[in-house]
Amino acid sequence: MTVPVLTIDGPSGAGKGTISRLVAKKLGWNYLDSGSIYRSLAIALLQQSVDLTDESTIVKVAETMDLAFECGDELVVKLNGENITAQLGLESTGNTASIVAALPEVRRVLLQKQQDFRQLAGLVADGRDMGTVVFPDAPYKIYLTASAEERARRRYKQLKEKGIDANLSRLTLDIEERDRRDSERATAPLAMAENAFYIDSSNMSIDAVIEEALNLIR
Ligand code: C5P
């Protein structure tokens, strides 16, 4: 029996994480936050002060890192036994993740780790290439986006709520830079799958987006 998958791809800050988590909860399905796998690798590399141009060492770290995900109300991620959840959301982590995610060999090594999440009763998978590369046969695919300004505003609000200092114009520049890197890389670039359902959430509430996602499955 094939396990159903809903893929939600899109640029940074489009709300994929929030929407995916809530939709998975409503459906009673598993949830894959694929960005957190790239982010965990970034943390491992930063911890070990690996030179980000040293591709063979980066691939070795990706191959050997031990990741454990505990999905309760909040996602808890352990890297080699250490709880790294607090560092996952940092801008520096996301930016490093985006740099190493451009390496084809890194993507190849991390592919199986992502596909392993496909378990009954179903999977909601959030990322950049879920519908195009990791789960191309997924029966349900969404491409979720929002304007760069709106995404930077949401990110700014999120960081402020966590008590993290942030600068809106800096965040907008970072988001545009990350979009460019994620869209222009040669391997598995951010792209809308041919058969994906397009949602621009710039002027939509979270509930409205969830409703659209559930309608797609119904
Ligand atoms: O989604 P999130 O911001 O957590 O992802 C961090 C970075 O990881 C992205 O900017 C992207 O470069 C990379 N990523 C990826 N493919 C995915 C998920 C994330 O390349 N499926």
Mean pLDDT of 99-106: 96
Q: What is the pLDDT of residue 173?
A: 93
User: Among 123, 142, 130, which residue's Cα sits nearest to residue 215?
Assistant: 142
Q: What is the pLDDT of residue 107?
A: 97
Q: What is the pLDDT of residue 5?
A: 98
CA of 62 from ligand 1 middle (Å) equals 15
Q: What is the DSSP string of 129-181?
A: SIIIIISTT-SEEEEEE--HHHHHHHHHHHHHHTT----HHHHHHHHHHHHHH
**Model confidence over 193-213: pLDDT tens digits?**
999 999 999 999 999 999 999
pTM of the predicted model as reported, rounded to 2 decimal places: 0.93
Distance separating the N- and C-terminal Cα atoms of the chain = 19
CA of 101 from ligand 1 middle (Å) equals 7
**Model confidence over 106-139: pLDDT tens digits?**
999 999 999 999 999 999 999 999 999 999 999 9
CA of 15 from ligand 1 middle (Å) equals 13
**Model confidence over 65-89: pLDDT tens digits?**
999 998 777 789 999 999 999 999 8
CB 132 less than 6 A from any atom of ligand 1: no
CB 38 less than 6 A from any atom of ligand 1: yes
Q: What is the pLDDT of residue 72?
A: 73
* Dihedral angle computed from the Cα positions of residues 43, 44, 50 and 56, in that order, rounded to the nearest 10 degrees: -120
**Model confidence over 128-187: pLDDT tens digits?**
999 999 999 999 999 999 999 999 999 899 889 988 889 999 999 999 998 999 999 999
CB 123 less than 6 A from any atom of ligand 1: no
CA of 185 from ligand 1 middle (Å) equals 12
**Model confidence over 21-72: pLDDT tens digits?**
999 999 999 999 999 999 999 999 999 999 999 999 999 999 999 999 987 7
CB 114 less than 6 A from any atom of ligand 1: no
CB 98 less than 6 A from any atom of ligand 1: yes
CB 127 less than 6 A from any atom of ligand 1: yes
CB 39 less than 6 A from any atom of ligand 1: yes
Domains with residue ranges and CATH for the chain: 1-27+128-218 (3.40.50.300), 30-120 (3.40.50.300)
Reported residue count of the chain is 218
